[in-house]
Structure 1
Amino acid sequence: MIFEPTTLADAMLIRPELREDERGFFARTMCAVELAQHGLNADFVQQNASLTRRAGTIRGMHFQINPDAEDKLIRCVVGAIQDVVVDLRPESPTFMRHEGFTLSAGNRAMLYVPKGFAHGFQTLSDDTEVTYLITAPYAPQSERGLRFDDPKLGIEWPMPVADLSDKDRNWPLLESDKPVFFAR
């Protein structure tokens, strides 16, 4: 696995190291030992998958608060997405900054999203499938979200929005430049 730091503290882009021959390739897509060597948590307890029918659909920006905060390892296995993360940790040097990454079946890149980050994506092709490992089970009472179009975030999505859930459309706008999401 090839680990590439991002501009956001503790988030990591991971590319599989392909071992190719005439049959195709073999690659590791998760290795607890290698993740730990890079200071990343690999105590995954759940794997989720989503299929999104229409290009331009946005899912997110989601996170869970303590005690159910979760690390995620996201991979697009069919199609392509623009994956965006926002650092919500007030003590972080990259607090309230965001960064986007293209994850696709073609580039096989994965994104490691630490606890304390909001995560969402926009599909770049029809019938896109995303899978992600998480370190805490889904806890509805701890679920929170940010508006994909919040002006305080300034996220520039690559396509016009084709579809959005009511839940994602109705997350409240940020009222402060220094919001608190996680208890210290």
Structure 2
Amino acid sequence: MQDEVKKDQQSTDSEWSLPESIIDGVLFRETKNIITGNGTTSEGYREDWNLHSDPIKQIIQVTLRPGAISAWHMHRLQKDHVFVILGTFKLAMYDGRPQSPTYQKLEVRNLSNLRPGALVIPPGIWHGFKNLSHQESIFINYFDRAYQYSDPDEYRLPPDTTEIPFTF
């Protein structure tokens, strides 16, 4: 049994701040839920957050069934801007950029509407999501480049690839 025991890594500090990304170029801007008389409101993006300098060209909504995995995925040109609007996801990111100072680093985060935030994933970062909720979970993804139907900037590996040292 002792061989199976693993000590937790630090996930926050005494101010309950979330850790900075360990992958170069990945940005996270935590927001807050505002409790209203009939629910909650939270901001998903503001230009003055300076998460990027490019205009937003397209927004999609992604829904995953309970326990579903969407992995692995990467863009060579566009940035992903992810904001969870319902549920909880495990997000794994792997730096596949040979020129990056964080090349081959792996980062795993839990993202949820309970502690909202906007996450920017730069080109060249492999990423995948798993829905940790017992219901459908939803995130929106806004892009600095519109989807090119005739020449998609979409590259994929299977969820069980041996190219990335992570299993969902």
TM-score for both structures, normalised by structure 2:
0.75
Structure 2 residue aligned with 1:123: 131
Confirm or deny that 1:152 pairs with 2:167. Answer: no
Structure 2 residue aligned with 1:8: 23
Report the Cα offset of residue 18 of structure 1. 5.0
Aligned partner (choices 58, 63, 73) of residue 46 of structure 1: 58
Q: Tell whether the 8 Å contact from 1:41 to 1:71 is kept in structure 2 after alignment.
A: no
Could you list the runs of 5+ residues in structure 2 that have no partner in the other structure? 1-16
Report the Cα offset of residue 115 of structure 1. 1.7
Q: Which runs of 4+ in 1 moved over 6 A?
A: 21-24
Structure 1 residue aligned with 2:113: 105
Q: Tell whether the 8 Å contact from 2:55 to 2:144 is kept in structure 1 after alignment.
A: yes
Confirm or deny that 1:132 pairs with 2:141. Answer: yes
Q: How many residues align?
A: 149
Q: Secondary structure at the match of 2:23?
A: coil
Aligned partner (choices 76, 80, 89) of residue 88 of structure 2: 80
Report the Cα offset of residue 91 of structure 1. 0.6
Report the Cα offset of residue 89 of structure 1. 1.5
Report the Cα offset of residue 132 of structure 1. 0.9
Report the Cα offset of residue 64 of structure 1. 2.6
Could you list the runs of 5+ residues in structure 1 that have no partner in the other structure? 158-184
Q: Percent identity?
A: 19
Higher alpha-carbon deviation: 71-80 or 3-12: 3-12
**Distance verdict in 2 for CA 1:131–1:137, change over 3 Å:** same
Backbone CA RMSD of aligned residues: 2.5
Q: Tell whether the 8 Å contact from 1:4 to 1:14 is kept in structure 2 after alignment.
A: no
User: Matches of 1:43 and 1:80 in 2, distance apart?
Assistant: 28
**Distance verdict in 2 for CA 1:127–1:22, change over 3 Å:** closer
User: Matches of 1:43 and 1:96 in 2, distance apart?
Assistant: 29
User: Matches of 1:9 and 1:124 in 2, distance apart?
Assistant: 26
User: Matches of 2:18 and 2:120 in 1, distance apart?
Assistant: 10
Letter in 1 for 2:167: E
TM-score for both structures, normalised by structure 1:
0.70
Q: Tell whether the 8 Å contact from 2:45 to 2:118 is kept in structure 1 after alignment.
A: no
